[in-house]
Chains A and B, each alone.
Chain A
């Protein structure tokens, strides 16, 4: 990958093709579809955070003329009593099914218990009162400490900890343990002149996507049943529903609507399988829409965490040992992002001796879902806070300390591979040289910084590029566009084909019209689907050359293709792409290119964030006065959207650090299930987030792309935490830094 490569379209700030429809309200989101004969589904949710279900009695609902269908756990053919009796039970699906509709226990307040369908939304809501559920209320387990206590009530009486050195013999709320090692941690601490050990915690937070979950499902006996929903991965929605319902993939067609934010939270299913059951029973299309309260109470938030970090270093700033113990709340069912949390915690550092232990803990809260770099913000917050404290203790600039120990090409990660070329040092140097870092710090203001790492992934993508007889065309892909990816796809195809991006219409096709695509997640789309677009476009180019060769009666080797024009190397002739398309009828029919790939070589993206915060010493109120996000994009295809990803990640991370948290009462009821009291940052709360795009190309991508979507949420927690600590001259160990907590720190005796 040569940095000198000149691009015509890549790196421009084109107008996004989906923008007009979105700002004018024409775009169709999850709740916007209505079908003839459509009815409404509603969900009965648990009023208890933890209870056994003695019985669910649907007799009164069944007798009601308003009720057209009822769904309970027993309607999942893959996991119900019949499947169990027949020995065909799919054990791996039980948790998913039980989260969608509870079986014999409710495990969080708002847990779905049953569903009904009726002619109107109001009738469906009203009919929920006709379902009688007999609960035996149990004590809720609402924190990691409570869950791992000796006498803690058990969420799952059969659950035994996986990954222990000696297999567990008794059940526990700890679902799994993970251990990662590198070198000899005891030796590392023995070599240290300075050792610090600190504990940190972070709250349960929600992705806060503006669009609630919604779906319209039309079951069909004779054709694929249609599922319309906002999702980051309609192919994976199809797979999950097929498993739950014992259907073939070909019996389902999932259409991804426009999506109003996902951030990882729309990578799972909640309403869709229920609506399918209801639609099948009622013989009508069924629509279901969550309200904001449902979204907070019953869709997956991000794990609360508790972390202990121990660091050893020499007085010259060489870090000799890094150790972490990490606990993640999984919510009601196992499966927190404890794994990636353990893997990422120390990746920005090239240190010989490391030891990380992680625990996945179930509690009576909604089952967590992915949230932008899942697991990394929690663990890296703890690590980066401790590294900043270490820098202060040794008396070395925190960027210098990081540069001295920075992960670079060849660094052995704790989780396996050695790093390829990465941009951490470039980001640290860009941060150090930035006007922000060089600027003096005003009175009453604190400054913090943090590095951040996320792996990024590649995976399977499929793309078709069709050209029309006039040289326009379409890019048919299957990656839901959550961050401007249609614009990026246009630009990458346009770069290869040598035509204006606007000549190509990017389409996110349903599961029937393009081959399998992995979910939009892991910051994979611009990298992997982009690679498929480039490959499909290259296939088109080779066909264009063949067609031109046929028209000129020369060999393909005698044709070059430059900037959208075929050149006859044997003569003076040239043909534009549009001219070749116009003549396609004569050369074998129309032209299209396809690519089905499993992309390898996703490049990690490192970031460094700088944050200045003013704290009101009398109220503890924080005010972010300046913020800069510096991140390695490999190559920014569309710089505005790359900056937008940096800024969006930064803002979500700042919210996580400052005011966002699930507030529970002692019964396990979330008390702030709405945007009034679940305080995400408002536009007026924050300054413009400054950005510096660093470009250290990823050699595995034709244009050098690295995923950029997730890393940006990793550094803000420690950048903010450190800035607050600096402003108040007190250590910060617990997020969020909400005014009551900050004031308590300020007023505490030193």
Chain B
């Protein structure tokens, strides 16, 4: 049982001030779909909750020529309804769509998914594949860090006390660039990834891959960027040989565990299959143009 002190600030500075001056163990709450469940198991007797959903800039997403600026607390159901974003980053939107159930989507957010830092989080590989940057706001100012460096371990991120994830920024992709995210679950929905793979590819006019990013999830303590898999794709037209190399590279990079959701061998194999399939989908999308 936890006694809560609850604040819902309306500005970023106010939120940071609350967090910086906290005398109780503090938690930032977005949708609360992970946090509320975790609080049932917390041993603290008192806790400060800073609800960031009332801060306008944290719950909006804007797409411009520079790219996407995503408010981390924007709920998935609003995010996934944005056709303009889906057109540009279909894989990221698909990943957001996979979180929880329809009901959970009304609360859950991409920033929450990222900060919660589950190894199986669906949006983290998709963010990494898209080169996403975290803009972190603290009492001392702002800093920026790539998503693949933001998550530091199982359930751990690089936020210092008093810091807050202010936005997730994805630079505008080059022409003929698209992403895709696939995860494996034994059922069709309402499950947690046994393995996940996100791929972003850039094609030239002839359909040759000239740039790629490959990220995998649920097969290591954190989502991993796998440069070797990207290198296997670059220069190819995603023929079977290149796909097999990318597939082998992610299986090599993975360090999965055996648990109730799947065996290590199974995860290592399946993450390769997902990478190959996601690369094909991303390439098809990239080839279709804007």
Contacts and interface: CB of A to CB of B under 8 A. Distances in A.
B187 A659 contact: yes
Interface in A238-294: none
A681 B190 CA distance: 11
A684 B188 contact: yes
B260 A672 contact: yes
Interface in A594-640: 618-621
B270 interface: yes
Contacts of B273: 618-619
A672 B192 CA distance: 13
Interface stretch (A189-197, A457-465, A709-717, A735-743): A735-743
Interface string A675-697: 01101011011000000000000
Contact of A621 (B1, B186, B189, B269): B186
Contact-residue size bin, chain B (C-beta under 8 Å from the other chain) = 20 to 34
Interface string A719-750: 00000000000000000001110011000000
B263 interface: yes
Given A122-B1, A618-B273, A739-B266, A685 B260 contact: no
B260 A681 contact: no
B52 to A, nearest CB: 27
If over half of B's interface residues share one DSSP class (helix, strand or loop), that class is named, otherwise mixed; here it is loop
Contacts, number: 51
A677 B261 contact: yes
Contacts of A672: 260
B2 to A, nearest CB: 12
Contacts of B184: 619, 621, 739
B290 interface: no
B259 interface: yes
Interface in A649-702: 658-659, 663, 671-672, 676-677, 679, 681-682, 684-685
B103 to A, nearest CB: 14
If over half of A's interface residues share one DSSP class (helix, strand or loop), that class is named, otherwise mixed; here it is loop
Interface residues of A, number: 23
Contact of A671 (B192, B260, B269, B270): B260
B186 A679 contact: yes
B153 interface: no
Contacts of A620: 266
A681 B191 CA distance: 11
Nearest to A658: B186
B32 interface: no
A196 B169 CA distance: 64
Contact of B191 (A122, A663, A679, A743): A679
B187 A681 contact: yes
B139 to A, nearest CB: 37
B262 interface: yes
Contacts of B259: 671
A676 B185 CA distance: 11
Nearest to A122: B1
Contacts of A739: 184, 186, 194, 262, 266, 270
Most buried by B among A621, A672, A684: A621
A659 B260 CA distance: 11
Interface string B70-109: 0000000000000000000000000000000000000000
Contacts of A671: 259-260
A567 to B, nearest CB: 59
B188 A685 contact: yes
B262 A740 contact: yes
B65 to A, nearest CB: 39
A743 B269 contact: yes
A663 B261 CA distance: 9
A620 B262 CA distance: 12
Contacts of A682: 187-190
Most buried by A among B1, B187, B191, B273: B187
Interface string B252-276: 0000000111110110011001000
Interface in B170-204: 184, 186-192, 194
Interface in A99-151: 122, 126
A685 B261 contact: no
B270 A619 contact: yes
A743 B262 CA distance: 12
Contacts of B194: 739
B187 A740 contact: no
Contacts of B192: 676-677
Contacts of A126: 1
Nearest to B263: A740
A464 to B, nearest CB: 44
Contacts of A663: 260
Interface in A460-483: none
A740 to B, nearest CB: 4
Given A619-B184, A619-B270, A621-B184, A684 B261 contact: no
Given A122-B1, A671-B259, A676 B266 contact: no
Interface of B: 1, 184, 186-192, 194, 259-263, 265-266, 269-270, 273
22 contacts: A126-B1, A618-B270, A619-B270, A619-B273, A620-B266, A621-B184, A658-B186, A659-B186, A676-B192, A677-B192, A679-B186, A679-B191, A681-B187, A682-B187, A682-B189, A684-B188, A739-B184, A739-B194, A739-B262, A740-B265, A743-B269, A744-B266
Given A619-B273, A740-B266, 8 more contacts: A671-B259, A679-B187, A679-B191, A684-B188, A685-B187, A739-B184, A743-B269, A743-B270
10 nearest interchain CB pairs?
A740-B266, A672-B260, A684-B188, A671-B260, A618-B273, A663-B260, A677-B260, A740-B263, A685-B188, A659-B186
